[in-house]
Amino acid sequence: MASVELRGLTKRYGGSNAVDGIDLTIDHGCLVCLLGPSGCGKTTTLRLLAGFIAPDAGEIHVGGKRVSSPAKTLPPESRNMSMIFQSYALWPHMTIAENVAYGLKLRKLDKATIKKRVDAILDVTHLERYAERYPGELSGGQQQRVALARALAVEPETLLLDEPLSNLDANLREEMRFEIRRLHNEYKYTTVYVTHDQIEAMTTADRIVVMNQGRIEQEGSPEEIYQAPNSEFVARFIGGTNILKGRSDGDGAVVCDGFTLRCGQGTPAAAGEAAVSIRMHDIELLTRQPPDRENVAAGTVVRQIYLGALRDYLVELPNRAQVRVTTAMQINVPPGRRVWLRFPPVHCRALAPSAPDQTKSVQVETVT
Ligand code: ADP
Ligand code: MG
């Protein structure tokens, strides 16, 4: 069966490594998301996999067979892979059925087989009634579904998707995330799905590979990546978290300005700079000073937003750090009021701090 293996995969452009020594094994039938900010090397990795470009170092193996190395790279048409791009690239002068049949005709299958496969795939992708229409007569979401149908029709060993939903509006994007997962459950092709959207990755993936500057920062199941980020970069990128900076006391706690956080998760550096990650919903907001001082900091409410079931607070600590906290709707404290935040040790995760330039471009979106 076709598992995909990247070994020390490297691609250089103009003196810098767009992909920098990636080692990754993708099991047969698995849907893996490459997740990371713009420019981290996701598309380059996918193009290397598809055989559009050759690596400068390292190798790619598919089903145990070497398909890419600096010395020899098998061309895309010999790889039994389908790739879907951000732009759906449908043929405008062909009907939907003809578009879907295109790859099968190229493979010189007989007419009856082509018809059978096209009918089956149009059925699964809920496109039967559009078979005789032209792409210009369909919505963006329907066109993207045709692109998927066309890629699946050739029964690829490996399916490669490069930000396939980024041209769709928010509602359609959500619907198509579930659709992609449903189709994956149906066909179980080994799939590499590139996205910069962490929610998209969490909805569709069996495994998430977080990339940063051409390297793999962390690989794991969506739960592992969310619950146990191993660096400040991953914690920030996956969203919904606060990062508090301080210095490690060498004994499992991080000393911040004016308060100390004992960490029940992660391993703080033996000494020196350290960071602590804690999710917004894991912090307790107290309106009275608690008798115990452990993992408690005083602060002032800067902003409060009513979100129906929840309230979203921004609280400033004495060291000027601002912390996002969500509470039950019943806890209603106006801006300007003094409050105390409790950071339960069990939810405090000590992390290796990232260099500032690594996290600059990261947009933090909330996953709750
Ligand atoms: P992503 O898909 O994660 O946004 P890319 O793989 O497209 O990132 O790009 C990674 C890095 O490689 C970027 O710095 C980009 O500018 C550079 N790069 C990608 N393709 C080329 C190319 N054909 N020529 C020169 N530089 C490139
Ligand atoms: Mg890209």
State whether 88 and 184 are in the same domain: yes
How confident is the model at residue 291, as a pLDDT? 94
Region of poorest pLDDT, from 182-191, 207-216, 292-301, 323-332: 182-191
Question: Which pLDDT band, with edges at 50, 70 and 90, does 358 fall under?
Answer: very low
* pLDDT above 60: residue 74: yes
Say which residues have a Cβ less than 8 Å from residue 16's Cβ, sequence separation at least 6.
none
If you measure from the C-alpha of residue 317 to the centroid of ligand 2, how many angstroms do you get, rounded to a whole number?
Answer: 38
Instruction: Please tell me which residue, 72 or 144, carries the higher pLDDT value.
Output: 72
Query: Closest ligand to 41 CA?
Result: 1
How confident is the model at residue 186, as a pLDDT? 87
If you measure from the C-alpha of residue 212 to the centroid of ligand 2, how many angstroms do you get, rounded to a whole number?
Answer: 13
Q: Is residue 344 part of a domain?
A: yes
Which of ligand 1's atoms lies nearest the C-alpha of 36? 3
Ligand 1 pocket: which of 10, 11, 13 to mutate (most atoms within 8 A of CB): 13
Residue 361 beta carbon below 6 angstroms from any ligand 1 atom:
no
State whether 264 and 191 are in the same domain: no
Query: Closest ligand to 34 CA?
Result: 1
Centre a 10 Å sphere on the Cβ of residue 139 and count the other Cβ atoms it contains: 11
Residue 43 beta carbon below 6 angstroms from any ligand 1 atom:
yes
Residue position matching structure tokens 């115990």: 292
State whether 245 and 218 are in the same domain: no
How confident is the model at residue 355, as a pLDDT? 60
What's the rounded mean pLDDT across residues 142-151? 89
Q: Judging by beta carbons within 10 Å of its beta carbon (0-12, 13-18, 19+), is residue 108 exposed, middle or buried?
A: exposed
Instruction: Please tell me which residue, 169 or 290, carries the higher pLDDT value.
Output: 290
Residue 166 beta carbon below 6 angstroms from any ligand 1 atom:
no
State whether 304 and 341 are in the same domain: yes
Q: Is residue 368 part of a domain?
A: no
pLDDT tens per residue, range 247-295? 988 888 999 988 999 999 987 677 788 899 999 999 999 999 999 989 9
* pLDDT above 50: residue 363: no
Q: CA 41, CA 46: separation in Å to the nearest integer? A: 9
Number of separate domains in the chain: 2
Q: Mean pLDDT over all residues of the chain?
A: 90
3-state SS class at 229: coil
3-state SS class at 325: strand
Q: CA 115, CA 129: separation in Å to the nearest integer? A: 15
Angle between helix 111-124 and helix 140-153 axes, rounded to 10 deg: 140
State whether 40 and 172 are in the same domain: yes
How confident is the model at residue 89, as a pLDDT? 82
* pLDDT above 60: residue 145: yes
pLDDT tens per residue, range 154-168? 888 899 999 988 877
Q: CA 15, CA 179: separation in Å to the nearest integer? A: 40
242: domain range? 238-351
DSSP 26: E
Question: Which pLDDT band, with edges at 50, 70 and 90, does 366 fall under?
Answer: very low
pLDDT tens per residue, range 202-225? 999 999 999 999 999 999 999 999
Question: Which pLDDT band, with edges at 50, 70 and 90, does 125 fall under?
Answer: confident
* pLDDT above 80: residue 87: no
How confident is the model at residue 1, as a pLDDT? 57
Q: Is residue 365 part of a domain?
A: no
Ligand 1 pocket: which of 11, 17, 38, 44 to mutate (most atoms within 8 A of CB): 44
Question: What's the first-to-final CA gap in the chain, in angstroms?
Answer: 37
Which of 287, 289, 279, 331 is closest to 307 using CA atoms?
331
Say which residues have a Cβ less than 8 Å from residue 26's Cβ, sequence separation at least 6.
3, 4, 5, 32, 190, 192, 207
* pLDDT above 50: residue 360: no
pLDDT tens per residue, range 90-111? 999 999 999 999 989 988 899 9
* pLDDT above 50: residue 368: no
What's the rounded mean pLDDT across residues 168-189? 85
State whether 86 and 214 are in the same domain: yes
Residue 52 beta carbon below 6 angstroms from any ligand 1 atom:
no
State whether 183 and 251 are in the same domain: no
